[in-house]
Structure 1
Amino acid sequence: MNIKNIYQLYINSSGIETNSKKVKQGSIFIALKGKNFNGNQFSKEAISNGALLAIVDDKSISACEKIIIVDDTLFFLQELASYHRFQLRHIPIIAITGSNGKTTTKELIKVVLFQKYKKIHFTKDNFNNHIGIPLTILSMPKNAEISVIEIGANHEKEIEKMCSIIKPDYGYITSFGKAHLEGFQSVKGIIRGKLELYHFLKKNKKVVFVNGDDPIQLNESTGMNRYIFSEKKKSDIKIKYLWKESHLESILYIDNMKVCSPLVGNYNLHNIASAISIGIYFKVPIEKIKNAVEKYIPKNYRSQIINRKNMKIIIDCYNANPTSMIKSLTFFNNNIKGNKISILGDMLELGLYSNYEHEKIISFLEKSNINITFLIGEIFFNAKLKTSPKVRKFINKEKFINWIKKHPFQKIDYVLIKGSRKIALESIIDLI
């Protein structure tokens, strides 16, 4: 059975599922494999749970009417997504990638475009990798007016591969930062990886949105069909950022119109500006853009503010890398006045750079005006750099939880919580 025939079955199915326990009646189960799981083992369970079809790549499984064997199920999933995208090639897709701010930017773009388009398709949850992106594409309905797809990557050539599936018509790179250094090997590798989006857009004569105040974006997009937002005069959209004036909000001006976002942290200003610029490009009325941005309240532990007792908790713990960590701490140090503490978790996937980057954070904290910082995780705990009483280390979250139960915070105005996703620091919020 070829991809065209299976696609016809997919069109009439209730969707794709990779978890046998979540199979819906009439869905197609694709048996993916990972380090700790093998979906092939659950193909019969998927059928018994109502799957119309099970796609497997284990040759020891007997093929039958409801079980199809392919060479590689991940490759098949990606090919099916590519075929679906070709059928819906009339739907414009905006691809978003970058080291920091991808999801926040995607969400802002989504709420801005909702002011004009009512049928927007977009990446949900964290479906932004080599498995999540094909599943996202396959979820795109034929009546979608526009789509916003987030691309995550932890090594070179990954964005190139994802672009071959997504086939974006527009693209934007949020930033080039020290994320996934273990896979990219170096900052230069990170830049090369992110620029794979530019290469696709340039080759296919598509449009790139460019932050004109980022020299890498500006230089690398030369000769492309680009739409630039910047504080500089030579840009399509002129923006003025209020870097120093912002406190627990982000403020900027488009022409003479003030936009005040509840997103905490001036490091979010470029994310907001990109969404506004993309909205203007797609002819969303400017007043509606302003309204959408000002009403957008972040969630999923990204730049959120929670009022607890007499303190404000800034939660930015969906993920962390050296670039996003230092930006958050710099903002917290320079812009937030009062008694303040920070609770930081290990930054993961840094490879050989790990100890060096964690020690740089500790050095910053020692010189900062943050009253006390609690560092959680084995990497911070084992850092050889000596610390003063204003920096306290805990080898794991459980040790910190035991400590905080005995020593509740008092007379604290602000708390910043930030760490990598696997540390899951949001679980300590109720203890503060």
Structure 2
Amino acid sequence: MKPDLGFIARTLNPVMENHTTDNLDLAGVSIDTRTLTPGQLFAALKGPSFDGHQFIPQAIKGGASALLVEQDWQGSAAVPVIRVQGVLDALTRLARAWRQKVNPVVIAVTGSSGKTTVKEMIALCLGQHFTRVHATRGNLNNHIGLPLTLLAMSSDCQTLVVEMGMSAAGEISHLAWVAQPTIGVVTNVHPAHMAAFASLEDIARAKGELLQALPHDGVAIYPSQRWETPLLSEMARPRLELSFGTDEKAQVSARNVVTQDGKVGFDLHLPPGIMTPLHLDAPGQHMLANALAAAAAAHAAQTLLTAIARGLSQFRLQKGRGQMITTPNGWFVIDDTYNANPGSMTAALARLGDEQGSRRIAVLGDMLELGEMSKSMHEGLATAVIDAGVSRLFTTGKLMHHLADSLARHPAIQVDHRHDAGDWIGVLPGLCQPGDRILVKGSRGMKMERIVEDLCNHAV
């Protein structure tokens, strides 16, 4: 069961029209008439460049059972109308109240990279132990997506996994106030959104807001033996702390790691001294770290070790997030186009370096939102490219030319640069050979998925 009309009325104390019964069950909440399903509440969000009130006729036609609108909306409808001062604020308060009513174990995940992957891994692990698990769909991780995630939770939910993104200080604190997590995971801290922060430490503090928001009996989870570890540990106190990593000091760790045929085998160690072997169908040290973070969170939620192992073994890489695609032309494309920052780019290049093939090729687009550090961060990828054994480097964008320039005279790497990702369409397939391993990665705004589609579908 989802929130009903009576719950909304009691929580918001709004002005109600056509309110004949509190027992009207709602099938959830929608803010988009294109995805609205019959029986849902339509929330008419209003923003700088859009007004959901304009789509109320479509919502009614699509079967909306009630409307959440601004107090000054001039229209009327045959279905119940809930008038409030601020639709987004009302959704936020509703979501917080619904979380309190359902009262599941809430696990929140944030970090510079790996958030969505870790969230999916945690949900898989929990699903092997609990019967009713709910998690953020896709990456609905902001001040709008999080309330929608909470309001989509059924009243019998046992465990909830939410993803939290941010681009400025204070945003994680707000999201944590809404979701009230009892377990918090910081996957890592890399340079990202640098235009909004004075330093990398400021980013770490913004991510660490999640740990500070946990109750004192909550569990704070963060990576072991990284530069941000001491700061995150300080922000976590006095809560229970769990660190994860491949080093001996990590409380949740991987030992005897072996990579073969695109899979990672390792012994998963959890406190207090329990261990199980497992295989992860996702290569790369960054994916191993993601799995350890997920295992730590599931363990903190009292999930059985066997359930954690089963859940992780079921994980599969998704489109745009490191999925390996075998093309009809005989080359292999690593589709890592969803987004990029220096940390995730370095990790993806390291994974490419682990691949066996005739050649390793990197097709890299700009990493955006790095502010004054843009030039140095792009140039700084040169070491990762060299260490990965890349023989051909294709770059695109106004910023990635800094990397291209820094490697232009390297004797073992052939470098080519073009201004726009679209400039490579129809060109790259003619430069690839059967057996090539090709990494394609860049920030979301670069639309690097166009290159993946071309490499996969272009006949040569």
Name the CA distance, whole Å, in 1 between partners of 2:384 and 2:247: 31
CA drift at 1:317: 1.7
Q: Give distance in 2, aligned partners of 1:145 and 1:164.
A: 20
Aligned length: 428
For 1:326, the aligned partner's letter is T
For 2:225, the equivalent position in structure 1 comes to: 213
State how far apart, in whole Å, the 2-side matches of 1:337 and 1:195 are: 40
Q: List runs of 5+ in structure 2 lacking aligned partners.
A: 1-8, 270-274, 456-460
Counterparts of residues 285-364 of structure 1 (less than 5 Å): 285-308=304-327, 309-333=329-353, 336=356, 338-361=358-381
2:255 paired residue among 240, 253, 256: 240
Return the alpha-carbon distance in structure 2 between the equivalents of residues 92 and 279 of structure 1: 11
Q: Are 1:82 and 2:99 counterparts?
A: no
CA drift of 1:101 comes to: 0.8
Decide whether aligned partners of structure 1 residues 5 and 310 sit closer, same or farther in structure 2, where only a CA change above 3 A counts: same
Tell me the equivalent position of 2:438.
415
2:359 and 2:454 map into 1 onto residues whose CA distance is 18
1:149-193 Cα distance to aligned partner (Å, 9 max, x none): 111111111110001110111111111111222233431221111
Tell me the CA shift for residue 210 of structure 1: 3.7
* Distance verdict in 2 for CA 1:403–1:12, change over 3 Å: same
Partner of 2:11: 3
Structure-1-length-normalised TM-score:
0.88
1:119 counterpart residue number: 132
Q: How high is the TM-score relative to the length of structure 2?
A: 0.83
Specify which of 240, 244, 255 is matched with residue 225 of structure 1: 240
Counterpart contact for 2:108–2:181, Cα < 8 Å = yes
CA, structure 1 residues 280+336, in 2 after alignment: closer, same or farther (shift >3 Å)?
same
Task: Confirm whether residue 278 of structure 1 aligns to residue 300 of structure 2.
Answer: no
State the distance in 1 between where 2:405 and 2:300 align.
Answer: 49
CA contact (8 A) 1:366 1:391 kept: no
- Once the two structures are TM-superposed, the CA of residue 85 in structure 1 deviates from its matched residue by 1.2
Equivalent residues in 2 for 1:164-203 (5 A)?
Answer: 164-201=177-214, 203=215
CA contact (8 A) 2:440 2:451 kept: no
Residues 360-419 of structure 1 deviation map (CA, whole Å, 9 limit, x = unaligned)? 3357546863011111234325879465272211222221103235x2412442111112
Q: 1:24-173 alignment to 2 at 5 Å? A: 24-57=37-70, 59=72, 61-62=74-75, 66-89=80-103, 91-173=104-186
Q: Is the 8 A contact 1:55 1:70 kept in 2?
A: yes
Whether contact under 8 Å (2:264, 2:283) holds in the other structure is yes
Deviation larger for 157-166 or 210-219: 210-219
CA distance in 2, matches of 1:54, 1:376: 46
Letter paired with 1:347: M
Gaps of 5+ in 1: none
- Considering only aligned residues, what root-mean-square deviation do their CA atoms show, in Å? 3.0
